[in-house]
Structure 1
Amino acid sequence: MRIPRIYTDSPLTEGQVAALDDNAAQHVGRVLRMQPGQELLLFNGDGQDFPATITSAGKKQVEVQLGSPTANTTESPLEIVLGQTLSKGDRMDYAVQKAVEMGVTRIVPLTTERCEVRLKGDREDKRLRHWQSVAISAAEQCGRARVPKILPVMTVDEWFERTGDCDLRLVLHHRTEQSLTALNKPVRIALMIGPEGGLSGDEIAAAEHAGFLPVALGPRVLRTETAPVAAMALCQWLWGDFGG
């Protein structure tokens, strides 16, 4: 049986008896229905995995005994910051989940001219918490050492300002002949994904003016939730840890 990996935002120390935080305790006790004596792996984003044995378990509270940590080496040397235009339904969830599996560093939800989703106030806060939960679950499943942060929703102009530290900035645009394979190896990438209707001509022009390079992944038009997965897989193959 596979040992579950559980994320906690609490400090972890070898040998300590620790109570899991509420979300982790509910998942272990209520969803997985684990019992005392069973094992799991805890991680909190510090790059280490802590083996743990459950000492007591209920539906609301779970305590564990921590063992010796081991270094987790699943993080890619390539940093990818994803600017993902908001989309309806489960499409945004899919984009977040698969981006985490592909090794994204952080995710910025974007509002663009043709974006059909508008979030404000409590609704925005609720969706951000939900997407962060999706990212946590994806990191637990795929074995990552760190959980990518979901940043607050930004406009296109705010996104341009926040990506100045990236040495390669890309905007996906199917009406260009520029491909990823012709580019030099970067260390930190900003990747901008448009909505279902695509970015407007003005937005693409603004992105280019801000230093973004339009690139195409091939002759077919990809959906907004498919494009980041395909793009990051290629980036990891060319410059990251996919072995290209």
Structure 2
Amino acid sequence: MQHFFVTPEQVEETYIRIEGTDVNHIRNVLRMRKGERIEISDGNNQKYLCEIDSMDGQQVRAKIVERKETDTELPVRIILFQGLPKSDKMEWIVQKAVELGVNKIVPVETKRAVVKLDEKKAGKKAQRWQSISESAAKQAGRGVIPQVENPIRFADALNHAKGLDLVLIPYELAEGMEETRQILSGIKKGMSVGIFIGPEGGFEKEEVEAAITCANAHPLTLGKRILRTETAGITVLSILMYLLEE
């Protein structure tokens, strides 16, 4: 069943208004007709089963058939602080992270990051990543669209992470898989968790030390193999989904 997002303001007592680019997608790409059923999320963990009632070039009006709370969100809030990777790897990371339940993605400029974005390029990239996040959220049946922020400096990312309940930083020099198991298994419902992932070259030792000092980060090992930047974050998210899925 096709899945769409709206804002709470577009939800009326018995109808929901779909506006923007989704109107063209419904009418001209999917070629949907009156009476067909769709799912709509209001971005606030509320999901609606609806029937298309009418449509024109500006709006699709859908009648609410059933209301239900979203059951596709993890019971913890996860923020992925992703070191900027090369080429289009960030697009793949955003897509898969959203599918696995991340709540927010923060691209981070680190010392070993090859990619350097000026403000104009960073804004355009963030718009593209946000569009990918929305598409992935629709495909995965998410109740919210995870926010992808503009790239920020590593020091600013650490300040962002200070208020979280737990901060994790997978690091190739970390040891002790049992400690990793204990930390991950200790994550409980309602917690906020930050995950720092380095770029292709990994983190500088000074960056890891700063994360420990400034954000109380816990270095983790993900095994005896060195994972690529596009694999490491997805690995942590997959483990957390397995441990926390209700």
TM-score > 0.5, shorter chain as reference:
yes
Give the Å deviation of 1:225: 1.1
1:114 equivalent in structure 2: 112
TM-score between the two structures when normalised by the length of structure 1:
0.90
- Corresponding position of 2:186: 185
CA distance in 1, matches of 2:126, 2:108: 12
Contact 2:35–2:53 (CA under 8 A) maintained in structure 1: yes
Secondary structure, counterpart of 2:47 in structure 1: strand
2:75 maps to what in 1? 77
Which of 150, 153, 162 matches 1:152? Answer: 150
Aligned AA (1:185): G
Instruction: Give the Cα–Cα distance (whole angstroms) in 1 for the partners of residues 84 and 130 of structure 2.
Output: 14
8 Å contact kept, 1:26–1:61: no
- Answer with 51-60 or 119-128: which moved more: 51-60
Secondary structure of the residue that 1:162 maps to in structure 2? Answer: helix
1:136 Cα deviation from its structure 2 partner: 1.0
Q: Secondary structure at the match of 1:123?
A: helix
Q: Which residue of 2 aligns with 1:15?
A: 14
Q: Which moved more, 1:58-67 or 1:181-190?
A: 58-67
Trace 1:22-33 onto structure 2 (pairs within 5 A).
Answer: 22-33=20-31
Unaligned runs of 5+ in 2: none
Please tell me the residue identity of whatever aligns with 1:15: T
Q: Give the Cα separation in 2 of the matches to 1:116 and 1:59.
A: 44
Give percent identity, aligned residues only. 31
**Pair 177,142 (structure 1): closer, same or farther in 2 beyond 3 Å:** same
Q: 1:92-107 to 2 correspondence within 5 Å?
A: 92-107=90-105
How many residue pairs were aligned? 238
Structure (1/2) with the larger helix percentage: 2
What is the Cα deviation at residue 65 of structure 1? 2.3
Using the alignment, how far apart are the partners of 2:25 and 2:113 within structure 1?
34
Question: Structure 1 residue 22: deviation in Å?
Answer: 1.0
Counterpart in the other structure of 1:236: 241
Residue type matched to 2:242 in 1?
A: W
Query: Does the CA-based 8 Å contact 2:8-2:44 persist in structure 1?
Result: no
- Output the aligned Cα RMSD: 1.8
Deviation at 1:153, TM superposition (A): 1.4
Please tell me whether the aligned partners of residues 78 and 236 of structure 1 are also in contact (alpha carbons under 8 angstroms).
no
Q: Deviations over 1:174-206 (max 9, x none)?
A: 211143202262322110000011111221221
In the TM superposition, residue 236 of structure 1 has moved relative to its aligned partner by: 2.7
Within a 5 Å distance, the mapping from 1:14-93 to structure 2 comes to 14-16=13-15, 18-57=16-55, 61-93=59-91
Once the 2 structures are TM-superposed, how far is the Cα of residue 173 of structure 1 from its aligned partner?
A: 0.6
| TM-score normalised by L of structure 2 | 0.89
SS at match of 1:206: helix
Q: Which amino acid aligns with 2:199?
A: P
